[in-house]
């Protein structure tokens, strides 16, 4: 006789339907692997009548209210696939944990905002709060950080965590199309939302990074402290200049332990061509972790999609079926350290700088002098032929694109130098910089 693990499934969108697909395909396999029969017994969704990819949901108990389902006696595990940082997801997860039911969720926004509080509730109830699917889709990064690296102090973790951005940047690099054109194409194909801000502005990446940071460093979740820059200002010219200098541009989420705290940042980044992270193309995600004993680990896979995400949800359910419980963020919630934010300006690394210098004698020398005075040394320079731009009331002007790659320097020094270059009137437009990770 086999025991049954009864799932209450809230949310029957892409991922919820993907989970029904998975359970329909692999019931026997899962029972063999976990020793337990895993079955959905109750569901909740906004619309009871909508088609669910051919799945007959009438055989499950229906709950109009997911909060009621979460606390119901008829389920053993609450599977939250509704999304959203507020209610009903928040109230439902709270209700499940308070009722002593393990929770599996794919909801990054919910945990990025309320992760620490929920970890405390899970500990109080002594139940699992698993969220493999909330970060990087089908990639087992949560389990790797939470379990496989148990004997490591993590030094650094970074990743490509948003498939929409990576698709856009890959297309720009490979096909030489402008940001706006590729975005429109991605929207037409359903790879980007009608309002793409959440993805291209870096906010989705930041949600995932907040969870990764807590897992890696044992700190309370702190979404608010993340420095965020999106990809909307990356031009095709940047992409081409980077390529000429041996780099490609990726949107990275980076979290590093420094002497004065943890630095979390999301921004476009130049990564060297030929590095593993540079080769992560299209909708793939990748996460690189550096542990003091394991050394560098890189995990790459599908970062989104119904089936990869469902695979991660099932992995979390299988752990519960086997009776495994690991603390939400790797250590008991009571031991999570208050997040200590490193001063952003302490970040040290190389920079790509794009200047639009006036085509006048002495400008290049002045810029070089300013950089040198700020202690910035230059690795390589690309200067292009002057072009005429502008017009209208400002009149036409001749400017020359001037691109440089710096050696490692403090961000404060680079910001200072660029402010001076701007103030001293050498550049026709605001200087732009993109960080470099030499990985």
Q: Which residues are catalytic?
A: 208
- Asked if residue 54 binds a copy of itself (CB under 8 A), the reply is no
Judged by beta carbon, residue 280 or residue 436, the one nearer a copy of itself is 280
Q: Is 437 in the site for a copy of itself (CB under 8 A)?
A: no
Determine how β-strand 129-130 pairs with β-strand 103-105. parallel
Instruction: Tell me the per-residue interface mask from 182 to 221 with a copy of itself, x by CB under 8 A, - otherwise.
Output: ------------------------------------x---
Residue 32 sits in the site that holds a copy of itself (CB under 8 A): yes
Q: According to the binding rule CB under 8 A, does residue 37 interact with a copy of itself?
A: no
> CA 427, CA 64: separation in Å to the nearest integer?
60
8 Å CB contact between 65 and 78: no
Q: Which is nearer to a copy of itself, 285 or 370 (CB)?
A: 285
Shortest spacing between CB 300 and a copy of itself, in angstroms: 4
**Left if phi > 0, otherwise alpha if psi is -120 to 50, otherwise beta: which for 282?**
left
Q: How far apart are CA 232 and CA 302, in angstroms?
A: 23
> Which residue's CB is nearer to a copy of itself, number 39 or number 382?
39
- DSSP letter at 187? H
Q: On the CB side of 418, how many CA atoms lie within 13 Å of its CA?
A: 22
Q: Would you give the end-to-end CA distance of the chain in angstroms? A: 52
Nearer to a copy of itself, 42 or 139 (CB): 139
Q: Is 39 in the site for a copy of itself (CB under 8 A)?
A: no
- In the complex with a copy of itself, the residue whose CB is nearer, 198 or 217, is 217
From the list 308, 333, 326, the residue with the least C-alpha distance to 140 is 308
- Asked if 22 touches a copy of itself (CB under 8 A), the answer is yes
Matching residue, tokens 């031009």:
235
Please pick, from the candidates 9, 12, 30, 186, the single residue that binds a copy of itself as defined by CB under 8 A. 30
Q: How many CB atoms lie within 10 A of CB 124?
A: 13
Closest to a copy of itself by CB, 20 vs 226, is 20
Count how many residues are written for the chain: 439
**Contact in structure between 198 and 204 (CB atoms under 8 Å):** yes
For residue 133, say if its preceding peptide bond is cis, omega within 30 degrees of 0: no
Of 55-63, 77-85, 157-165, 330-338, the segment contacting a copy of itself by CB under 8 A is 330-338
CA 57/CA 49 separation, integer angstroms: 9
The residue written with tokens 């004997």 in the block is 151
**Nearer Cβ to a copy of itself, position 37 or 148?**
148
Q: Does 429 bind a copy of itself (CB under 8 A)?
A: no
| Residue choice 300, 363, 374, 437 for contact with a copy of itself (CB under 8 A) | 300
Alpha-carbon distance of 48 to 144, in angstroms, equals 37
Q: For residue 293, state whether it binds a copy of itself (rule: CB under 8 A).
A: yes
Please identify, among the stretches 28-36, 227-235, 338-346, 424-432, the one whose residues bind a copy of itself according to the rule CB under 8 A. Answer: 28-36
Residues 124-163 that bind a copy of itself (CB under 8 A): 132, 138-140, 143-144, 147-153
Strand partners, 265: 227, 254
Q: Which of 87, 260, 292, 423 binds a copy of itself (CB under 8 A)?
A: 292
Show the CA angle centred on residue 238, arms to residues 233 and 239, nearest 5°: 105
Q: Is 121 in the site for a copy of itself (CB under 8 A)?
A: no
Applying CB under 8 A, the span of 162-170, 205-213, 311-319, 404-412 interacting with a copy of itself comes to 311-319
Q: Phi/psi at 128 (nearest 5 deg)?
A: -80, 140
- Candidates 66, 115, 308, 431; binder of a copy of itself (CB under 8 A) is 308
Task: Say whether residue 323 binds a copy of itself (CB under 8 A).
Answer: yes
Question: Under a CB-based contact definition with an 8 Å cutoff, are residues 147 and 204 in contact?
Answer: no
Among 14, 162, 264, 311, binds a copy of itself (CB under 8 A): 311
Task: Residue 13: name the closest of 55, 41, 42 by CA.
Answer: 55
CA geometry: angle at 106 spanning 101 and 108, to 5°?
110
The least distance separating a copy of itself from the CB of residue 58, rounded to whole angstroms, comes to 24
Least distance from C-beta 306 to a copy of itself, angstroms?
9
Of 172 and 427, the one with the shorter C-beta distance to a copy of itself is: 172
Report if residue 17 touches a copy of itself, rule: CB under 8 A: no
Q: Is 114 in the site for a copy of itself (CB under 8 A)?
A: no
């Amino acid at each position: 006789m086999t025991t049954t693990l009864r799932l209450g499934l809230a949310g029957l969108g892409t991922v919820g339907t993907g989970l029904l697909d998975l359970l329909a395909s692999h019931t026997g396999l899962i029972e063999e692997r976990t020793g337990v029969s895993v079955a959905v017994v109750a569901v909740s969704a906004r619309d009871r009548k909508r088609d669910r990819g051919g799945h007959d949901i009438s055989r499950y108990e229906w709950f109009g209210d997911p909060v009621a389902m979460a606390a119901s006696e008829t389920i053993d595990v609450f599977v939250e696939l509704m999304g959203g940082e507020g209610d009903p997801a928040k109230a439902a997860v709270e209700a499940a944990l308070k009722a002593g039911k393990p929770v599996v969720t794919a909801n990054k926004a919910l945990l990025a905002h309320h992760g620490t509080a929920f970890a405390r509730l899970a500990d109080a109830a002594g139940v699992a709060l698993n969220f493999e699917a909330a970060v990087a889709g089908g990639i087992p990064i949560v389990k790797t950080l939470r379990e496989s690296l148990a004997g490591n102090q993590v030094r650094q973790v970074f990743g490509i965590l948003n498939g929409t951005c990576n698709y856009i940047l890959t297309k720009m690099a490979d096909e030489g199309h402008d940001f706006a054109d590729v975005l429109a194409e991605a929207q037409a194909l359903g790879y980007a939302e009608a309002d793409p801000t959440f993805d291209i502005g870096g906010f989705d990446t930041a949600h995932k990074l907040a969870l990764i940071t807590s897992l890696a460093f044992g700190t309370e979740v702190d979404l608010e402290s993340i420095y965020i820059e999106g990809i909307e200002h990356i031009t095709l010219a940047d992409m081409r200049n980077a390529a000429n200098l041996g780099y490609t541009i990726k949107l990275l989420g980076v979290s590093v332990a420094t002497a004065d705290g943890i630095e979390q940042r999301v921004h476009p980044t130049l990564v060297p061509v030929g590095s593993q992270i540079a080769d992560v193309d299209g909708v793939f995600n990748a996460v690189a972790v550096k542990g003091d004993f394991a050394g560098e680990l890189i995990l790459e896979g599908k970062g989104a999609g119904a089936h990869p995400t469902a695979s991660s949800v099932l992995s979390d359910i299988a752990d519960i079926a086997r009776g495994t419980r690991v603390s939400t963020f790797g250590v008991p919630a009571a031991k999570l350290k208050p997040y200590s934010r490193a001063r952003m300006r302490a970040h040290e690394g190389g920079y790509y700088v794009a200047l639009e210098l006036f085509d006048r004698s002495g400008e290049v020398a002045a810029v070089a002098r300013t950089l040198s005075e700020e202690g910035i040394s230059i690795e390589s320079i690309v200067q292009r032929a002057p072009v005429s731009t502008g017009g209208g009331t400002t009149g036409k002007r001749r400017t020359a694109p001037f691109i440089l790659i710096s050696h490692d320097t403090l961000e404060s020094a680079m910001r200072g130098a660029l402010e001076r270059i701007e103030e001293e009137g050498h550049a026709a437009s605001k200087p732009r910089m993109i960080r470099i990770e030499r990985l």
